[in-house]
Homo-oligomer: A and B are copies of this chain.
Amino acid sequence: MGRLTVDNINPHVVEAEYAVRGELAVKSEVFRAKLRKGDGQDLPFDEVISANIGNPQQLDQKPLTFFRQVLSILENPQLLEHEDVLLGALGYKSDVIARAKSLLDHVGSVGAYSASAGVPAIKESIAKFLEKRDGFGADPAHIYLSGGASAGVNTLLHIICAAPNSGILVPIPQYPLYTASLSVLNATTVPYYLDEANHWGTSLETIKDAHAKAKAAGTDVRAIVIINPGNPTGASLSEEEIQAVLKFAAAEKLVVMADEVYQTNVFVGKFHSFRQVLLQLQREDPTAYGDVELASLHSISKGMVGECGHRGGYFELVGFDAGVEEQIYKFVSITLCAPVIGQCLVELMVNPPVAGDPSFALYDREYGAIFRGLQERATALYEAFKEMEGVECGVPQGSMYLFPTIKLPPKAIEAAGKEGRSPDELYCMRLLEATGVCLVPGSGFGQKEGTLHFRTTFLAPGTEWVGRIKKFHSEFMDEFR
C-alpha cells in the first residue's frame, strides 16, 4: 500500500457525517480566533455566538458551587488538612467536606483507574436515585459509568450490531451521534420520522411502517433509539407515547435505547422515564413485558449540571442476558474506565444536597436560576421566531434546543444548488458570515424531503444576538425574493 489517503482509509469512517462540529463549526472557530487576536476588523460582528453546540458552560451557565467545591477537594485532598480554613475563610459548608471525604474513601485517588464499570459506591448512589425517581428498585450490577452518554451509546451499538444488515431504528431528526456511529460500525440506520405537526412526537404508525419496510428489505432490526426530551426537536414525550413504543418493542423483540440526557430540561408537562413506564408495564403484565431489554442513558453534560467538559454519564440495563453483560463489561474494560472525576460528578448529580443540608439553600437557588434562565431564553427565542417571515416553531417543551421550520424563496434554493449546498446550509453559512451566530442546518440531523430547519441552542445570554438573526433573516429573504 502507498500512503494513507481518503481513498484507502476506513470507508465507513469516511462515510460518517457529523454536522454539529462540521464546516460551520470550524469556520466559527476561525472567526473566534481572529477576533481573539484583535484581527477581526473585516468581520461585520465582534463576537461569535456558538448556538450550534449544547455547551452550557462555554456560554453563560455557571457550574453549581457545591459540586465544584467538592471537586476542588477531590483534586487536592491536602486541603482537608486545613478544614478550619475551608470552613472559615473559604466559606465551604460542612456537607462539602463530608461528601469529599466519603467520595475519597470510596475512590481512593481520582488519579487512579476505577473498576471498569465504575466505582461501586457511585453505582450504588445511582441505583438509589433510580429507585427514588421511578419507584422501582435498581441493581448496581447493571449500571455502567461512561465517559458521557456518547461513550455509552458507542458501547451499546458495538454490542448490538452484529453485521452490516443489523438495523437500528433512529428518529429523524436525530442527534447525529447515532447515524455517525452506525456508519462507522458499518451497520444500518432505519430512520423513522418524528411528527412535527404533533410537537415532534413519536408516531407509532410511522415506526411500524419504517420497521416493516426495513424487514422486507432484509434488515435485521434489533433496537429502537428514542431521544426524550428530544434533540434537536426539544419534544417531551407523554406516558402514552412511551407505552406505545415499549409495547411495540416487546412485540417485535427490539432492544430499547432511551437517551434521556435532557431529563431535567422539561418545561411543559413532566419527564417520564422509559424505565419507570416499562417496570410499571411489567408489574401489570409480566408475561408480555418481562423480556423487554432496555438501556437508558444519562449524563452530567446537560441540564442544570452542564458539565460536558468532564465527560461523565452512565447507562443502566434492564432485562439483558448475563452473557451479554459479560461482553459489555469486557468491552468497557478495554477502554479502562470512565474519567473518575466525571464519575464523582455523576454521584453529585444523582445525590445533590437536600433540604436541611448546609449547602442546600445555595444549590437550590443556583439550580432554580439556571432552569428559569433557560426557560426565559427559550421563550424569547420562540417569540422572535414567530415574528420572522417563513419561520414556524413549536412552543419550547424541553432539552436545550429549538428546531424551527424555515421556508426559503425558490431563488435561495437555486443559489444553494449552485454552491453545492443544501438550502438550510447556505442559510446558516450566510448567517454565520453576516452575524457571527453559528447554528446547525436541519440537514445535519435529517429532515423530511422538501422541508428545511435549523437547530439553535438557547444557552447564549441576552437577546442582542437574536436581534442579529432577525435582521439577517429579513435581509436574506429580501435578497432572494
Q: Are B309 and A4 in contact (CB under 8 A)?
A: no
Given contact pairs A16-B330, A33-B120, A291-B3, A335 touches B151 in the complex (Cβ within 8 A): yes
A85 to B69, CA, bound (A): 15
Number of interface residues of A (CB under 8 A): 98
Q: Closest residue to A54 on the B side, CB-wise?
A: B113
Question: A1 an interface residue at 8 Å Cβ cutoff?
Answer: yes
Contact B68 A18 (CB under 8 A): no
Query: Residue A463 at the B interface, CB < 8 A?
Result: no
Residues of B contacting A337 in the complex (Cβ-Cβ under 8 angstroms): 309, 311
Closest Cβ of chain B to A213, distance in Å, is 17
Q: Is A229 an interface residue (CB 8 A)?
A: no
Stretch of A55-63, A266-274, A407-415 that contacts chain B? A55-63
Are the CB atoms of B334 and A180 closer together than 8 Å?
A: yes
Is A309 touching B9 in the complex (CB atoms < 8 A)? Answer: no
Kindly list chain B residues whose C-beta atoms are within 8 Å of the C-beta of A202: none
Complex CA–CA separation, A3 to B291 (angstroms): 8
CA distance A21 to B221 in the complex (A): 32
Whether B68 and A75, one on each chain, are in contact in the complex, defined by CB atoms closer than 8 angstroms, is yes
Q: A451 CB to closest chain B CB, in angstroms?
A: 25
Q: Is A78 an interface residue (CB 8 A)?
A: yes
Query: Are A147 and B72 interface neighbours, CB within 8 A?
Result: no
- Residue in B74, B151, B308, B323 whose CB lies within 8 Å of A111: B308
A475 within 8 A of B: no
CA distance A160 to B11 in the complex (A): 10
Contact B33 A335 (CB under 8 A): no
Inter-subunit contact B335/A5 (CB<8 Å): no
Question: Does B330 lie within 8 Å of A18, measured CB to CB?
Answer: yes
Q: Can you spell out 25 A-B residue pairs with CB atoms less than 8 angstroms apart?
A: A1-B221, A4-B160, A9-B159, A9-B327, A13-B159, A13-B327, A20-B333, A56-B111, A57-B109, A63-B111, A85-B85, A107-B309, A111-B309, A111-B310, A113-B308, A158-B184, A180-B334, A181-B334, A184-B331, A184-B334, A309-B341, A310-B339, A310-B341, A311-B311, A311-B336
